[in-house]
Structure 1
Amino acid sequence: MKDKFIERQRRLLRQGRLSRRDFVASVLSAGVVLPSALTMADRVQAATPKRGGDLKIGMGHGSTTDSLDPATYENGFMTHTGYLWGNSLTEVAPDGTLRGDLVEGWEATPDARVWRFPIKKGVTFHNGKTLTVEDAIASLNHHRGEDTKSAAKGLLSDVEEMRADGDTLVVTLASGNADFPFVLSDYHLLIMPSDEGRVDPTAAIGTGPYPLDTFEPGVRVTATRNENYHREDAAWFDTVELLAILDPTARQNALMNGSVHLIDRVDPKTANLLGRAPDVTILEETGYLHYTFPMRVTMAPFDNYDLRMALKLSVKRQELVDKILMGYGTVGNDHPLSPSVPFHAADLPQREFDPEKAAFHYRKSGHSGPIQLSASDAAFAGAVDAAQLIAASAAEAGIEVEVVREPSDGYWSNVWNKKAWCACYWSGRPTADWMFSSAYVDDTEWNDTDWRNTDAAQKFNRIVDEARAELDQQKRGELYAEAQRLIHDDGGALVPMFANHVMAHSNALAHGEHVAANWELDGNKASQRWWMA
């Protein structure tokens, strides 16, 4: 009875229906000693969102080539920027479940081909226009068509028709897709106001919690709270400022000296030391993040299967986890599905360092001379060191790897998806189909291994199509296991490790019980989900 009473008082204090003084007095009367009563009050009030304050975030992303067009977003800085000014139709909640963002919910036909999404009423854009189904259709169409360069093109390639049925968006797919509502939460698919069926993708006009005040590519973004935001349970800060601080040491120093309240991509090597600072909390979340070294299979020498296999066998994966992640992660197996993702192929044999087999495949490839590996810590903290470790282990198999240290600025536009072999990271996706559609199917712009035309790649694409429409979960699991095997064997993806999201924040900040792990910084929505303690 006492516990129920105290919990009720906590709830009243959290809801603002009880003052701090009255809360303390009431729990004292229930037999709680004064220090404990005061601590209870502090914890309840810290966990209760409140408006006010100016949030500053230091991010290990950003490039001077960044654009406001959501079709081009390719790093965490722009993802977070997009979520300041815009919303998608659905979103991944902090607990990992899917919920409506600009839609009330969804329903589908039994074959998962026709989906209905009722649009939320009363939502307005920053320019005053009321959200309509036509806005959703025009925004999604921005990523479709022959001429689009959108990274989300592959996600929507199966859409046959979109139409309005009153205030409901009706989407018809060429084949069933049980995960389609998840697809619509993609950060590229922000909803913009339309005019005669078209949108202005660089205007940054959306329905989001913080309309942009300034945008300096690769430098900073400032934004002010949208007083007409359609959600009452979000957007607690008065203003938000994002700062691109690519150097991990500079980012951590900014947190410790109070220049920012929150940083992403804490260097695992210094995480323990940073956590000793009196006003800093280290936050670690296990999700889908993985660090990769994609080999473009259409560029020599990676167009040779045996060379790719030689390199995959020449990596000491546990060494990378121990020395680069400092244990904040686990070994990868040359495919993109982490053990946290449904349909992860746990039965696929783990690839190990095997210098003899690596040397065998290398000799069979007929290659000689150095193989260049481009790297920059813009890819992930410790990417250059990881490349050096790969070069060292490859040398044990008689393979010469030359590490090319690339500039951080412009890395994502000048190196990734262009150079034959480079360091990369993928935050991953909450479903297998979404991950495959983002980076591995033949019609996505972000197929950074360019793995499209081998026999195995073509088989993989057929399997992904079949699995997408398969509603029998056992059969679907078998198909996805085969898809992972094909990438693991034939693909150009060298995936040596899955990394935990390691962030750090000032104790002046507070957040809810759950912190999303689909992207770093609470799904890149800390600016709208967190508050000042």
Structure 2
Amino acid sequence: MPEPFSAGLTRRQALRLGALGAGGLLLAGCAGTPAVRTATAPTGPRKRGGTFRFAPISTAGTTSADPLSINSGYELRFAMFDSLVAPDHQNRVQPALAELLEPEGTDQSVWTIRLREGVEFHNGKTLDADDVLFSLQRILDPKTPSSASNLLKAIDLNAIKKLDKRTLRLKLTSPNSQLRRAFAPSEAAIMPVGFDPNRPVGTGPFKQVNFTPGQRWTGTRNGSYWREGRPYLDGLEFIGFADTTTARTNAVLSGQIDGIDGLHPAQLPQISARPNLNVLISQSGAYQVFEMRCDKGAVFEDPRVRKAFKLLVDRPQMVKVAWNGQGAVGNDTGVWAEFDPAMDGSLPQHAQDLDQARSLLKAAGKDGMTVTLRTCQLATGQVESANVLVQNAKAAGVTVNLDVVANRAQYYGGQDYYTSQFKVDSDSTETMFANTAYCFTGKGIYNNTGYDNPKVNSLYVQALAATPEKYQELMHEVSRLVWDDGPWISWGRQNTVHVCSNKFTGAVQDASGRFNGYQWSDISLA
């Protein structure tokens, strides 16, 4: 049997992530930031009790309590469910429900899972290997696959062997050196056998009391939570606001709610005037992207057109307008080497070059083209960045018309999300492993652009079967290909700004870009 759980990092990864943990998170109050009260890590004994009322930017679009649904919302998944492993505040994978998750041998095609002992679901059932098997069957069900299915698809469901009540042996159809990371997303949540999405039961820190889709979710403390002494709160509430900018800010200013995430940096002066509010700013890999459909017959089929659009964008202007300068320019993969060494950090930055953009469009027969961009305020500044793109494109002789969708549920709920020629999207900090699996391989579950580069597909398979050092080398090549001809304009990553009443404590900066990584069991009365 392998030794107990280890993170499986190479020495180089450990050093880079260690550096991130030491200095990679931006403190509020740094140069260029208004003087605000910064949330700090708690010291001394923690208080118990109280209800934390939080308004995540995504709650208005959270219409399902099933963790496998695209409309379940990260905030809700982290409140009710756990995965086998989970990212820490520096985006390093740590044990959660599994005390061991390791490959057997060196070929990365046989893995062992051993569960933590004594974990209970909200209904009192003890977590066992059958629940993991049931969860994997749901996640990998071809009729209703979870987004995590793309990361876990190499698991052969028919070859899983139950060794005892807490131990499973997995056999993979192809090696996957990144399988531990594949189990980390909240979409890989573990559910009990017979899980009912209408009466959701998990192992998470809070149990559902009421849920009005898109409006409000209330939860009560899970007194049997497996993390000793957690959670501190008696209750947790998520409140949805259709207006994610002004209405949410006014609600936290008035004390109607206790916290919000995704504050627009331009609103910091309002917050700084209130002595009862603290601010948390994290430098993260949370990114925004314009996606170009490029399969046969699509507007962006010709790679010259995709390259032209990458070159017409004024990325520094977008960071300034959309985030008031609280961020950094992006480089079209949605991944940064600071957060994942599998991204080639030596790639040159795509800078605005209108002459080259016009030349490429003319060569492709697309000069003077018109295209519609489908957009929505999925994250801070998303509509603002779209308006900047309209002006950038106009300077290159291109007309971009905006189709502004009202809310997240509408945006993701219809076929337009899958068929649009040009659209926006966003995500928290990701890895080259996940973004390639989801979006850059031909059969990726979120590949809504039709991008299908045979070399990318081949290199990805080779990388998963390789040693950790060779994996990085091969994924560097994948990142270079996507940077050059890929379907994304990932124009920037943002410093995420969150607000919390000083009646509460426990939140710290988190590399994911989410408020405290949505680790709700950390939050307590101050």
TM-score by length of 1: 0.85
Relative distance call for 1:202 and 1:468 in structure 2 (3 A) is farther
- Kindly report which structure 2 residues correspond to 1:227-376, keeping only aligned pairs within 5 A, or say none: 227-245=223-241, 246-298=243-295, 300-340=298-338, 341-367=340-366, 368-376=368-376
CA contact under 8 A between 2:333 and 2:479: conserved in structure 1?
A: yes
Q: Distance in 1 between matches of 2:150 and 2:318?
A: 32
Q: Distance in 2 between matches of 1:448 and 1:213?
A: 36
- Kindly report which structure 2 residues correspond to 1:481-492, keeping only aligned pairs within 5 A, or say none: 481-492=476-487
- What CA deviation, in whole Å up to 9, does each residue of 1:306-359 have, x standing for no partner? 222221111001111122122211111111211322222122121110111110
Relative distance call for 1:490 and 1:405 in structure 2 (3 A) is same
Q: Distance in 2 between matches of 1:361 and 1:124?
A: 59
Q: Distance in 1 between matches of 2:320 and 2:42?
A: 39
* Residue ranges of structure 2 left out of the alignment (5+ in a row): 1-39
Q: Secondary structure at the match of 1:318?
A: helix
> Could you tell me which residue of structure 1 aligns to residue 521 of structure 2?
528
| Counterpart check, 1:79 vs 2:95 | no
Relative distance call for 1:504 and 1:339 in structure 2 (3 A) is farther
Q: Distance in 2 between matches of 1:44 and 1:80?
A: 21
> Could you tell me which residue of structure 2 aligns to residue 31 of structure 1?
none
Q: Which amino acid aligns with 1:97?
A: R
Q: Which amino acid aligns with 2:512?
A: N
Q: Which amino acid aligns with 1:302?
A: F
Q: Distance in 1 between matches of 2:514 and 2:43?
A: 22
Q: Secondary structure at the match of 1:214?
A: strand
CA contact under 8 A between 1:210 and 1:224: conserved in structure 2?
A: yes
Relative distance call for 1:521 and 1:45 in structure 2 (3 A) is closer
**Farther-moved stretch of structure 1 (203-212 vs 132-141):** 203-212
| Counterpart check, 1:448 vs 2:444 | no
Q: Distance in 2 between matches of 1:214 and 1:345?
A: 46
* Residue ranges of structure 1 left out of the alignment (5+ in a row): 1-42
Q: Which amino acid aligns with 2:216?
A: R
Q: Which amino acid aligns with 1:520?
A: R
- What CA deviation, in whole Å up to 9, does each residue of 1:388-435 have, x standing for no partner? 111111111111111222212512223533422112111132x42123
Residue 113 of structure 1 and its aligned partner are, at CA, apart by: 2.2
Q: Distance in 2 between matches of 1:202 and 1:140?
A: 19
Q: Distance in 1 between matches of 2:330 and 2:73?
A: 27
CA contact under 8 A between 1:313 and 1:352: conserved in structure 2?
A: yes
- Kindly report which structure 2 residues correspond to 1:48-197, keeping only aligned pairs within 5 A, or say none: 48-63=45-60, 66-74=63-71, 78-109=73-104, 110-160=106-156, 161-166=159-164, 167-195=166-194
Structure 2 counterpart of 1:479, from 468, 474, 477: 474
- What CA deviation, in whole Å up to 9, does each residue of 1:281-324 have, x standing for no partner? 21111222111011122363122322222211110011111221
**Farther-moved stretch of structure 1 (61-70 vs 95-104):** 61-70
Q: Distance in 2 between matches of 1:44 and 1:498?
A: 24
CA contact under 8 A between 1:60 and 1:265: conserved in structure 2?
A: yes
| Counterpart check, 1:420 vs 2:421 | yes
Relative distance call for 1:393 and 1:532 in structure 2 (3 A) is same
Q: Distance in 2 between matches of 1:503 and 1:325?
A: 13
Residue 265 of structure 1 and its aligned partner are, at CA, apart by: 0.5
| Counterpart check, 1:405 vs 2:399 | no
Residue 202 of structure 1 and its aligned partner are, at CA, apart by: 4.3
CA contact under 8 A between 1:501 and 1:517: conserved in structure 2?
A: no
CA contact under 8 A between 1:321 and 1:327: conserved in structure 2?
A: yes
Q: Secondary structure at the match of 2:131?
A: helix
After TM superposition, the runs of 4+ consecutive aligned structure 1 residues lying more than 6 A away are: none
Q: Distance in 2 between matches of 1:47 and 1:504?
A: 22
Structure 1 counterpart of 2:207, from 205, 211, 223: 211
Relative distance call for 1:483 and 1:202 in structure 2 (3 A) is farther
Q: Distance in 2 between matches of 1:71 and 1:44?
A: 32
TM-score by length of 2: 0.86
CA contact under 8 A between 1:158 and 1:173: conserved in structure 2?
A: yes
| Counterpart check, 1:510 vs 2:505 | yes
Q: Distance in 2 between matches of 1:300 and 1:334?
A: 20
Residue 441 of structure 1 and its aligned partner are, at CA, apart by: 2.5
Q: Which amino acid aligns with 1:116?
A: T
Q: Secondary structure at the match of 2:219?
A: strand
Q: Distance in 1 between matches of 2:277 and 2:43?
A: 15
**Farther-moved stretch of structure 1 (81-90 vs 417-426):** 417-426
Q: Which amino acid aligns with 2:525?
A: M
Measured on the aligned residues, the alpha-carbon RMSD in Å equals 2.1
- What CA deviation, in whole Å up to 9, does each residue of 1:88-109 have, x standing for no partner? 1111123433222111133322
> Could you tell me which residue of structure 2 aligns to residue 434 of structure 1?
434
Relative distance call for 1:45 and 1:390 in structure 2 (3 A) is closer
CA contact under 8 A between 2:289 and 2:489: conserved in structure 1?
A: yes
- What CA deviation, in whole Å up to 9, does each residue of 1:60-116 have, x standing for no partner? 113467222222235xx7111112221111111234332221111333222222221
Q: Which amino acid aligns with 1:62?
A: T
Q: Secondary structure at the match of 1:445?
A: coil
Q: Distance in 1 between matches of 2:396 and 2:468?
A: 44
Residue 494 of structure 1 and its aligned partner are, at CA, apart by: 0.9
Structure whose alpha-carbon radius of gyration is higher: 1
> Could you tell me which residue of structure 2 aligns to residue 13 of structure 1?
none
Amino-acid identity (%) = 27
Q: Distance in 1 between matches of 2:167 and 2:281?
A: 39
